[in-house]
Chains A and B, each alone.
Chain A
Amino acid sequence: MEELKLYLNLTHRVGGGNLALFEQQQDLAHQCGLKCTMIVGYDGLQNPDVIQRVKDYGAEYKEETGMLLSITDTTKSFAEGNYTFWLFTLEEKKRIINESMHRFQAVFGYFPQILTCYYLDAPTVNYIKQNYPEVEAVVATCFEEGTKMLRGSNYTYYLFSEGGPWNPWIPSRENSQCPARDKDDDAGVVAFPHLSRDMVASIEDRNDYFASHPMNMTRGWVYEGKNWSYMYNFLDMAVRQSIYNDGYAYCNVYVDPKWIAKSGGHDDEVRLDIYRDCLGYLAKLKAKGYLQDMGMLEFARWYRQNRGYNKPDISLWQDIIFGSEKQAFWYIDAWMRATVDPNQGGAVVDLRPYVSRLHRPVGADTEILYDGSYPYILHAQYRGGWPCFMDTKSMFTGAITCRGRTVLLNHQRTQCDFRKEGGDYLAIMNPVELDFGDLTAACMTKVVFRGAGAIEMQRTIACAVPDCEFEVLDFLNGTCGTTEYPTDMRNVILGYIGAQGDNQLKFAYTGRSVEVPEVDQVYACVPDAGTRIVLSPGRKPAAGLVRDGIVTGPMYTLGIRNKVKAGEVSRTCLTISAM
């Protein structure tokens, strides 16, 4: 087995009015032998005491210093308009970047190589790199924050970054939330997520309670008295991710000093204790060889050398809070991000087509204003309906029919493991039992990620009756959107290709369906996602299904019917490409 290694960025942010707390954070980390990265806010750049202290830490502990991109108005009047950097117009962003960079240079003698924010779109990253080529590391997303955060913040926080990466990545020049494909597509920096998240909780609802920010756990009440076992379990689970990524896992603990101070809330008496414990536990992981602490710049350089382009990241996370034994499998590369749910028989429940590299800048001067989430083309949490095909949500799943009975695979709960075979990345479900009345069979599903936008769904059926024939229907209920509300799908074109050529129908909310006895492929062209989605059989002849959606079930269905005998492998390939 590979050595397990969690690469840690411990980051402390200092402003103009929290120096004493920042010093306390830094000193605690140094007592634990941990390396920090210091991030200075624009107001901190006006404070000589802050500047001197940061310089002293940098000199004594060889620590890196970066800068927070926020506002340059230090009066807290919000006279600049917006209060979050990423929602200014591009021209205002450029002004703030220039003022901040030059202010930093004036006090430290160099331009910062690390910039942090909660979200940075591609035009902003490209501008930074073009004008300040020294910059190598940027914090550019908050994993899966979006509709859930808006609701969770009582409609006050406009950070939409669903559909992005959970680990560091080299961002594309076209959309900062997509990993770059190659050098031509490389925006020239390594991007980081703000915090690392619980990958099961991220699917269900807001995930900031369940993240690598220790005191956010108290916001979620995931502690009782002095017991915060979840924090240790979280860090252990983070280390475990290196099993699936050639000995690499990543964690980012990024904490503003205010979180160790009392705020008049229920967690006043434990905030500092939790932070102290967190740092102590990180030091223990380091002592055991499970953790390597690095500066953000140091890590960015390590990442380019050791991960680079086209190395998919895998996450196989187990529920460590609710006691459900549920798992979540995640896959990401430059073509897609996919989520597989073993609790639903290995269905693909969320799919983001990075292949289309959608141009989606955010800010007051843009068409989409705040919505920086990368669109999905299927999403089981956000799209369902009634009536809809097989009464299923938006997902890529299947059903098996034998002797007149049909069993839905997404109703068969199981667990999964991960394996790499050549260039393929496999999520392998444990076999599930299928009850066909007077016949019982078992089905093992493999979700095979083949790269370049292809996912193959493999089903192997075991049965005691020789030559028993099964029909495997693999189907996809497709949609498009960034939030939980349905979008207008009437620009979607559905079709099937076979001996009779290319036949099309428009998505028109009619619910009509077409069954074709033999097809080469069934497909959907989804302009809002810039993506063509194709389902094709692994072996012919195979029948195809195309179904229009309805207003109360705003999803189209594509399906492939494969006939297999026990012991044979049924294969259906889902391929996405740019339109």
Chain B
Amino acid sequence: MPDDLGHVKQWNCPWCFARQNDSAGLLYDRKKSEYYCVKCCFTGDSAKIVEEYGYYQKRYRLMKTRLKILDGME
């Protein structure tokens, strides 16, 4: 969704991202107030985009875990 100045955020398509493509920039349709992808059928607002990336992140099971790999560094 645009901010107070009417700027839209730079988002890459979360569905394309799930196929390891992080260069499918979403376009913004001001009439429908939604982002859309020209490479696939994704449409949605910022909240939907963040939600989709959240699904993707579930595969990173250790993402927030500090592992003990070196003595004295954990």
Q: Residues of A at under 8 Å CB distance from B?
A: 4, 148, 151-154, 156, 205-206, 209, 219-224, 227, 229-230, 232-233, 236-237, 239-240, 263-266, 284-285, 288, 290, 319-323
Closest CB pairs A-B (n = 6): A323-B61, A236-B69, A154-B23, A264-B10, A227-B64, A236-B70
**B9, A322: Cβ atoms closer than 8 Å:** no
Contact across chains for A233 and B23 when beta carbons are under 8 A apart: no
Contact A320 B10 (CB under 8 A): no
* CA distance in complex: A232, B65 (Å): 10
Residues of B13-29 whose CB lies within 8 A of A: 16-17, 19-24
Q: A233-B69, A284-B73 are in contact. Are A321 and B60 (CB under 8 A)?
A: yes
Q: Which of B39, B56, B63 contacts A154 (CB 8 A)?
A: B39
Q: List 13 A-B contacts (CB under 8 A).
A: A152-B21, A152-B23, A154-B23, A221-B53, A227-B64, A229-B67, A230-B60, A233-B62, A239-B69, A266-B11, A320-B67, A321-B61, A323-B61
- The reply to whether B23 and A156 contact each other, CB–CB distance below 8 Å, is yes
**B6 lies within 8 A of chain A by Cβ:** no
Partner of B60, one of A219, A265, A285, A322: A322
Q: Could you say which of A153, A154, A222, A232 has the most chain B C-beta atoms within 10 Å of its C-beta?
A: A154
Q: Is the CB of A151 within 8 A of B20?
A: yes
Write the nearest CB–CB distance from B23 to chain A, whole angstroms: 4
Contact B70 A4 (CB under 8 A): yes
- Which residues of the partner chain A approach B70 to less than 8 Å between Cβ atoms? 4, 236, 239-240, 290
Chain A CB within 10 Å, residue with most, of B11, B67, B69: B69
Contact of B24 among A154, A240, A284 (CB under 8 A): A154
User: Which residues of the other chain, B, contact A236 by a CB distance below 8 angstroms?
Assistant: 67, 69-70, 73
Contact A219 B22 (CB under 8 A): yes
CA distance A322 to B56 in the complex (A): 12
| Secondary structure class of chain A's binding surface, majority of residues | loop
Given contacts A152-B23, A284-B73, A288-B72, contact A233 B67 (CB under 8 A): yes
- B-chain residues with CB within 8 Å of residue A237 when the two chains form the complex: 69
- With an 8 A cutoff between CB atoms, is B31 at the interface? no
Q: Write the chain A residue with the least CB distance to B39.
A: A154
Query: Is there contact, CB below 8 Å, between B73 and A285?
Result: yes
Q: Say yes or no: is B59 at the interface (Cβ < 8 Å to chain A).
A: yes
Specify which of B9, B21, B57, B73 is in contact with A224 (CB 8 Å cutoff). B57
| Contact yes or no, A148 B62, CB < 8 A | no
Determine how close the nearest CB of chain B comes to the CB of A573; give it in whole angstroms: 35
Bound CA span A457–B69, Å: 30
- CA of A152 to CA of B66, assembled, Å: 28
Q: Which residues from chain B contact A148 at a C-beta distance below 8 Å?
A: 20
How far in angstroms is the closest Cβ of chain B from A207?
10
Whether B73 lies near A230 (C-beta < 8 A) is no
Known contacts A153-B23, A232-B66; 17 further A-B pairs (Cβ under 8 A): A4-B70, A151-B20, A154-B24, A209-B22, A222-B60, A222-B63, A229-B62, A230-B63, A232-B73, A233-B67, A237-B69, A266-B53, A284-B73, A290-B73, A322-B59, A322-B60, A322-B62
Among A154, A240, A264, A322, contact of B61 (Cβ-Cβ < 8 Å) = A322
Interface of chain B residues 22 through 74 with chain A (CB within 8 A) = 22-24, 39, 50, 53, 56-57, 59-67, 69-70, 72-73
Complex CA gap A563/B7 in Å reads: 72
